Amino acid sequence: MIKSLFYLCVLALVSGMMFTGYAAEKEGKVKAPKMGKVRHVVAFKFKATASPEDIKKLVDSFADLKNKIPQIVTFETGTNHSPEKLNKGFTHGFLLTFKTEKDRDDYLVHPDHKAFGSSVGPLVDDVFVFDYTITK
Amino acid sequence: MIKSLFYLCVLALVSGMMFTGYAAEKEGKVKAPKMGKVRHVVAFKFKATASPEDIKKLVDSFADLKNKIPQIVTFETGTNHSPEKLNKGFTHGFLLTFKTEKDRDDYLVHPDHKAFGSSVGPLVDDVFVFDYTITK
């Protein structure tokens, strides 16, 4: 009986740990930025000739790199809605996170990134890239 | 005895939940981006006349807005180290997160943001701003 209750305690301990992890994941809480990680900010200005279908396909294939290149820790994207009009004509933004500069470097030369890069040229008029290590 | 063991089980369950939360917090894990949140990307290109002390002071006062404006959920900053040379001369990057577009709008008109904004002009040659809602 005591032995059973002991196992029950262990089960409760583990369940508690698992539940909390699951709840935090589900809630998708914004944590304090992790110092030292590398943010890779990219923005595209599309050519007038790029159709909405072309743009969607390109954005989807950029997002798909997350499934192909293990160095990408997070990927996110969205279109500009700043009312400040300081976006220099860039309309589509992307934010990738890497653990280290080395991982960013490995991403840049990864064959899947290279392939994606060569599909960008015909559709995009200009590209902005800004990488920083989170220092504050 | 059984009652004591029952309480022990509850204690174990709660401890497990607390420990996991603490461990996740400490590790500062990168969670999946929270859909619907607004990212406010800012980059500065400083004038040649801006001294390193001027720049540090400006960056610090930007960071300090996090302590003054409750709508800012996260603030981070760093200097560009992309080898791609597509940063258009921008050297200092900032990433602010808001829960909603409304919070971003409230931030823009907040008196402390306005005061910060007017201190930027004399030091900065150009400003890039790109806001997006995380859609993917």
Residue among B16, B41, B78 whose CB faces A93 most closely: B41
Q: Does A36 contact B at CB distance below 8 Å?
A: no
| List of chain B residues whose C-beta atoms are within 8 Å of the C-beta of residue A9 | 5, 8-9, 12
Encode pLDDT of B64-121 as tens digits.
999 999 999 999 999 999 999 999 999 999 999 999 999 999 999 999 999 999 999 9
Q: Any idea which of A20-24, A125-129, B44-48 has the lowest mean pLDDT?
A: A20-24
Chain B hits for A132, Cβ within 8 Å = 77-81, 93
**Contacts of range A80-83, beta carbons closer than 8 Å, 24 or more positions apart:** A80/A43, A80/B130, A80/B131, A80/B132, A81/B101, A81/B131, A81/B132, A81/B133, A82/B40, A82/B129, A82/B130, A82/B131, A83/B105, A83/B108
CA distance B69 to chain A (A): 16
- Shortest CA distance to B31 belongs to which of A102, A16, A24, A35? A24
Q: Is B128 within 8 Å of B92 (Cβ atoms)?
A: no
Portion 84-123 of B in contact with A at CB < 8 A: 84, 86-88, 90, 93, 95, 97, 101, 105, 108
Does the model's pTM come out above 0.80? no
Q: What is the DSSP string of B118-135?
A: HHHTTTEEEEEEEEEE--
Residues whose CB falls within 8 Å of the CB of residue B11, separated by 6 or more in sequence, listed in order: none
Q: Is B14 exposed, middle or buried (0-12, 13-18, 19+ CB in 10 A)?
A: middle
Model confidence band, residue B19 (pLDDT cutoffs 50, 70, 90): very low
**pLDDT tens digits for A37-74?**
999 999 999 999 999 999 999 999 999 999 999 999 99
Is B134 in contact with A77 (Cβ distance < 8 A)? Answer: yes
Which CATH topology does A38-133 take? Alpha-Beta Plaits (3.30.70)
Distance from CA of B49 to the nearest CA of A (A): 22
CB of A48 within 8 Å of any CB in chain B?
Answer: no
The distance of A89 to chain B (nearest Cα, Å) reads 10
Residue A94 backbone phi and psi in degrees, to 5: -140, 140
Task: Assess: ipTM above 0.90.
Answer: no
User: In chain A, which residues have their Cβ closer than 8 Å to the Cβ of B2?
Assistant: 1, 5
- Are A130 and B17 in contact (CB < 8 Å)? no
* B48 contact A CB<8A: no
Domain chopping of chain A, boundaries = 1-31, 38-133
